[in-house]
Amino acid sequence: MKLVVAMVVGLTGCGGSRAQVENEKEPFLCKERTVSYMAAKHISGDEIGVLMDCKGGPQIKRWRTDKLGKRQQDAHPITPNEFDRVWKEIDGTGWPNLKDCENGSLEKSDPVYQFDIKDDQNSASFSCQTRVMPYPYNDITDPLDLLSQQGRNQLGDDEPADAKALDKKDKQR
């Protein structure tokens, strides 16, 4: 009797993990989807950017180039569900119809964001010069930023050298 109970408990426990494995095996259709943005002359560096694509499997990559030209990057695979969730948010912007933004700050000293998005049916490239990303362009940058940084450390040092020098000078007083 104990053997039967142990077998039933063992099989029941395995059933849960089998179901999880089956759920994670869901088919993923890439459809040549890729989305990226790059910002030049950003406060975080001379260039920052994020790219999400599915060539060779869903992945996301982020990079940062500082004022001295030193490039740091991080790339990692993502699950098909994560890819589809973010793509759905970006697709909701109507990206095939977006043009260069006219509702950014458009100041000459502000960063210029370049967007490139494509799938198996459409492709679009557009830009926006602004300090704060306006709607609906922020519905592209925000989900990409969140997914690329999830569970990751920050790229590079977040405090510029001149700010560190001021801190050091203040401490010496």
Domain boundaries, the chain: 34-155
> How confident is the model at residue 91, as a pLDDT?
97
Residue 162 pLDDT > 80: no
Cα angle at 127 between 119 and 138, to 5 degrees?
A: 75
- Predicted TM-score of the model (pTM): 0.74
List Cβ<8 Å contacts ≥24 apart for 161-167.
none
Residue 16 pLDDT > 60: no
Q: What's the CATH architecture for 34-155? A: 2-Layer Sandwich (3.30)
Bigger pLDDT: 34 vs 154: 34
Residue 4 pLDDT > 70: no
Residue 2 pLDDT > 70: no
> How confident is the model at residue 37, as a pLDDT?
96
Segment 144-160 mean pLDDT: 78
Which residues have C-beta within 8 Å of that of residue 31, sequence separation ≥ 6? 54, 119, 120
- Bridge partners, residue 76, by sequence: 60
